Amino acid sequence: MTEQNQTIGTGMGEKKNVKDQDGKTATILEDPKINIKTKLAGLWVILMFFYLYNDVFTLFKPGSMEGIELNQAFLLGAAVLMAIPSLMVFLSLTLKAEANRRANIIAGVFLAGVLLTTTLVSAGIWAYYALYMIIEGVLIALIIWYAWKWPRVQRYGAVGN
């Protein structure tokens, strides 16, 4: 059984001294807690890259652009869909907790709806596309989950408690 003996430092990446069952001292690396804002911003960055790679790979698929009219409405819609994760990276890092939580949940639910709609209307999905859609779904679910479970702190002296 491992028993903690002494902590060296308190900063990120500091090492801890622990004693094992034989009384020998070993140094282990600390596993610092990642801030919720950083987690969400990271998930939005990863999601954005999956969107981009999926779109780029699709351009190499034979006949992928047949029947698609690249008009202003289509390109505006594509721009809005790509702007959401791009802006959410910044907003996840800068908004205050309550607004941040709501923005992440709303954006996540919206993009989950877009992903579900895409899944339902797509015919003959290639394996790479299915894989990316699954990964995108998991990332969106994680964004919604982390935002939903946003850490709370006890506020003393609050009215109504």
**Is 156 domain-assigned?**
no
Q: Token pair of 25, please?
A: 């001292």
Total of domains in the chain = 2
pLDDT category of residue 5 using cuts at 50, 70 and 90: very low
pLDDT in tens, 6-60: 544 545 555 666 776 777 777 888 888 999 999 999 999 999 999 999 888 888 8
pLDDT in tens, 128-161: 999 999 999 999 999 999 999 999 988 887 665 4
pTM: 0.77
pLDDT value of residue 27: 80
Instruction: List all residues 6 or more positions away from 58 whose beta carbon is below 8 Å from its beta carbon.
Output: 64, 129
Co-location of 118 and 137 in the same domain: yes
Co-location of 40 and 118 in the same domain: yes
Containing structural domain, residue 61:
36-148
Dist. CA 150–CA 130, nearest whole Å: 30
Tell whether the model's pLDDT for residue 98 goes beyond 50: yes
E-state strands within the chain: 3-7, 15-19, 25-29
Assign residue 32 a region (left: φ > 0; alpha: ψ between -120 and 50; beta: otherwise). beta
* Residue 6 near residue 17 (C-beta atoms within 8 A): yes
